[in-house]
Amino acid sequence: MWTRLSLSKKVLLFLAVLLTLQLIFISALVSLQFAAEEQTRKATRAGRLATLASNLSSEIFSGISSFTGGEGLQAGGGDPEMFKRSLVKGGRYLNELKIMTADNEKEHQQVLLAEKSMSHAVDVVLALQKDYDRNGAQGELSRAPLWNELRKISSRDLFQQLNAMAAEEEKIVEQDPTKQAQFRSQLRTLLFGSLAMTIFSILALAKYLVGEITSRLSVMHDNAYRLASDLPLNPPLPGNDEIAVLDRTFHNLAELLQEAADKERAIVDNAQDVICSLDDQGRFVSVNAAIEKLLGRKPAQLIGRQVIELIQEEDLTTALSYFDALQNGKDARPLEVRMRNTMGDTIDTLWTAHWSDKDNSLSCVIHDMTIRNRTERLKEEVMAMVNHDLRTPLTTVQVSLELLKAGEKGKLSEKSEALIENMTVSCNQILRLTQDLLDLDRMESGHMELETEDCNIGDVAVQAIDLTSGLAHRQRIRISTDLQNLIVAGDSHRLEQVMTNILTNALKFSPADSSIHIAVRPTNDGTMAKVSISDQGPGIPANMLDKVFDRYQQVKDGQRSKPMPEDKPSGKKGGSGLGLAICKAIVEQHGGRIWVESSPQSGPNSGATFIFTVPLVRR
């Protein structure tokens, strides 16, 4: 049960027990204080009662003595006025005694008996006075019984009762200092006991906090050191208090960090690229296993070696400048460096690195560019071959065919003319294909210059419609327009090429007696001209919408494919797959964007809408 409590609840429980003990001590102190005050009140009351009883006795004695002194009544009478004064004072004392003893039955009865005796004594005195007034001195013998009765009342009844009461009250007064001393002793004992208990409780709580908290925090501190040192952690702390919960959270965090480290290590170890770390002297601190595939060296062989030992001498200056720029906090683009493997072969690599001031190290990712560079060189060779070795003979063949068609070698038969016509069409198709390849390569490499000028894109759309109107007429397809006169900064010839290509595709895959709609309008923000061309063909599957603009991509499975403008509509054959790729390159070179929208699942003739944007000229 105790171990399940949180640390705050344990402390609160401890404080609650301490508070309960303090309340008990305070209650005892208050009780003793009340008892001492009660004893003081009793002593004060007893003193007052003793004084009143003594005063009452004195007044009664004085009053009686005014008649009895010198046998006053026998000798000729006493002092009536003095007797009355004593009687009045005695009455006041008696009334106060009655009031003060009202809460004490025994004392009250004694006062009532004294009152009765006093009243009887007064009656006797009055009888003596009356007899004296009637008989004078000669009535001494007749007053003798009354005198005896008065002596009896005074000595035995009245004074004895009052003296007894006074003696009892004086006894209480005499006992008061002793009891007060006892109360003070008990108060001191309680005070010192409470102080000792408080000190003990505070020390116990401090010991608990030091022992329970500090020791557990020491375990957590040790766990932090172990985590940083990659050592096993201590067992989790027991209990459900805050420190135990924090320790379990720390263990969970350590497990997550270990899992992340394992995943990172697995990624680094299995990465195709070389991932390494260099110190400020250019020495390998760590390197993954990909270095063996790249350079034929094991990671352990490179730890502590200078990286410049692996770089071609011709690239050392460039590499060192790159490293210096990174160390000085400058942003550096990825660096192409040639390295040497164990066979002495040159390996083309691309370096991406980041300098850490905190770790004083350089983190590098080295990508093998050898195959890519070879591919680029092969591509350049192919493009050169297409441009020179293929186009030149084709141009010669095209010229020869044109000469034959013109009758340079005499009149040809119909069969020969048809054959030459087919050869001319095929030659033109191959020439356009080679031109598309060259154009696309120049666009993607950024070597094609646009002849940019302010042009009305609505007029460009009209020109593209005119170029494809013959094909539309043969297909019995109507082209509707919604064209606005928008001025854009662009190459009108290339923009016309984009629209013509898209229109030709739309015509090829639209059924007869359908329609194509082309619209030119500004975008909502007014910064771009938006051109959309919609057809009623079979549409494009959703999984191909992002791929139709890639090079050599075509839609299969009976759906529409990407044709070249020169493809024959009747054949429904796919083109080379370059037309829309060229459109994308042209639009993006203008600073615009191109995409397609289609939902073939909504119907057999849902069609597709090709959309592209180009920037408007700001006026």
560-614 residue pLDDT tens: 544 434 443 333 444 556 788 889 989 998 999 999 998 766 666 778 999 999 9
Over residues 227-234, the mean pLDDT reads 85
CA atoms within 13 A on the CB side of 260: 6
In this prediction, residues 532-537 reach a mean pLDDT of 92
Q: What is the 3-state secondary structure (H, E, C) of 248-294?
A: HHHHHHHHHHHHHHHHHHHHHHHCCCEEEEEECCCEEEEECCHHHHH
Query: Which of the pair, 456 or 188, is modelled with greater confidence?
Result: 456
Percent of the chain with pLDDT over 70: 79
Phi, psi of 248 (to 5 degrees): -65, -40
In 3-state terms, what secondary structure has residue 142?
Answer: helix
Distance CA 47, CA 232 (A): 84
pLDDT tens for residues 303-336? Answer: 999 999 999 989 999 999 998 888 888 877 888 9
Q: 557 CB contacts (<8 Å, ≥6 apart)? A: 541
Whole-number pLDDT of residue 328: 86
Query: pTM for the full model?
Result: 0.42
pLDDT for 158: 60
Q: Hey, which of 174-188, 214-228, 437-451 has the most confident mean pLDDT?
A: 214-228
pLDDT in tens, 124-137: 777 777 777 777 76
pLDDT at 543 over 50: yes
For position 485, what pLDDT does the model report? 92
pLDDT at 461: 95
Alpha carbon distances (Å) from 426 to 386, 421, 605 = 16, 9, 32
CB of 322 within 8 A of CB of 336? Answer: no
Mean pLDDT of 180-185: 73
Q: At residue 286, what are phi and psi to the nearest 5 degrees?
A: -155, 155
> Which residue in 598, 443, 385, 584 sits closest to 506, CA to CA?
598
What backbone torsions phi and psi does residue 241 show, to the nearest 5 degrees? -75, 175
Q: What are phi and psi of 512, to 5 degrees?
A: -60, 150
> What sign does the CA torsion over 521, 523, 525, 526 have?
negative
* The amino acid at 493: H
Provide CB contacts within 8 A for 414, sequence distance 6+.
none
Region for 337 from its dihedrals, namely left if φ exceeds 0, alpha if ψ lies in -120 to 50, beta otherwise: beta
Cα–Cα distance for residue pair 356/354, rounded to 1 Å: 7
pLDDT band at 558 (very low <50, low <70, confident <90, very high): very low
Q: How many CA atoms lie within 13 A of 327 on its CB side?
A: 14
Contact, 607 vs 599, CB < 8 A?
A: no
| 492 vs 618: CA distance, rounded Å | 18
DSSP class of 595: E
- Tell me what pLDDT residue 65 has: 67
**77 pLDDT higher than 70:** no
Which 3-state string (H, E, C) describes 495-548?
HHHHHHHHHHHHHHHCCCCCEEEEEEEECCCCCEEEEEEECCCCCCCHHHCCCC
Residue 45: left if φ>0, alpha if ψ -120 to 50, beta else—which one? alpha
Q: How high is the pLDDT of residue 344?
A: 85
pLDDT of residue 170 exceeding 80, the answer is no
302, 287 in Cβ contact below 8 A? yes
Higher pLDDT, 351 or 266: 351
| Least trusted range by pLDDT, from 56-60, 280-284, 613-617 | 56-60
How much is the pLDDT for 478?
94
- 388 — pLDDT class (breaks 50, 70, 90): low
Give the tens place of pLDDT for each residue, 258-268: 888 778 777 77
Tell me the average pLDDT across 449-466: 92
Cα-based angle 224, 228, 234 (whole degrees, multiple of 5): 45
Please give the pLDDT value at position 153: 66
Structure tokens at 93: 């004392």
How far, in Å, CA of 497 to CA of 460, rounded? 10
| Mean local confidence (pLDDT), 361-378 | 82
pLDDT value of position 446: 64
Find out whether 615 and 590 touch, Cβ atoms under 8 Å.
yes
**Token pair listed for 348:** 């083309």
Q: Which residues contact 388 (CB under 8 A, 6 or more apart)?
A: none
